[in-house]
Amino acid sequence: MSQVHELNRSNVRLNVERKTIGSYLLGYIDPEDEFIPLYPGRSDTNLQNRLLRHASLGYFTHFRFFPTNRVRDAYHQECRDYHLLLRAGITNIIHPCHPKGLPYRCPYCPTGGGN
C-alpha cells in the first residue's frame, strides 16, 4: 500500500517525480491516526503538477499516490477509488472522465460509465 504524506508543496516535490502518470487520494488524518480519503483523482501527464495545485488550495491535509506506466491504469485506479469511496461521502461526486481522446470505459460501471 502506498504511503500517506502531508499535502504540501515540499512533500509533493520530494515524493512525486515530474511527468509521472498516476492516480491519487486526498484526505486527512483522523484522531486515530487513520488516513480518511475524500477525493480520488488522477493525472494522465504530470501527477506532480496536479498535486501541487491541490496543495496550493489547502482543502486537504494529506495525500496518497499511485504511479503507473499507462494512462489506462491510472484511469482504472481512479474509477476504482471513486466507486469504493462514493458511499463514504467523497467530495467529487462526478464520475471520473475517460482520458482525452482514448476509448477507455469504467470497468466498475455496468454501462461503462465515464464522461
- Give bridge partners of residue 63 from the DSSP assignment: 5, 26
Taken in order of first residue, the domains within the chain and their CATH numbers are 5-88 (3.40.1440.10)
Distance separating alpha carbons of residues 62 and 67, to the nearest angstrom = 17
pLDDT of residue 91: 79
Are 98 and 113 a contacting pair, CB within 8 Å? no
Alpha-helix residue ranges (DSSP H) falling in 1-115: 9-15, 47-57, 71-85
Distance separating alpha carbons of residues 96 and 83, to the nearest angstrom = 10
Percent of the chain with pLDDT over 90: 82
Q: Provide CB contacts within 8 A for 90, sequence distance 6+.
A: 37, 38, 39, 40, 82
pLDDT in tens, 40-95: 999 999 999 999 999 999 999 999 999 999 999 999 999 999 999 988 878 787 89
Looking at residue 5, the DSSP 8-state letter turns out to be E
Q: What is the model's pTM?
A: 0.92
Type and span of the H or E element at 28: strand 21-29
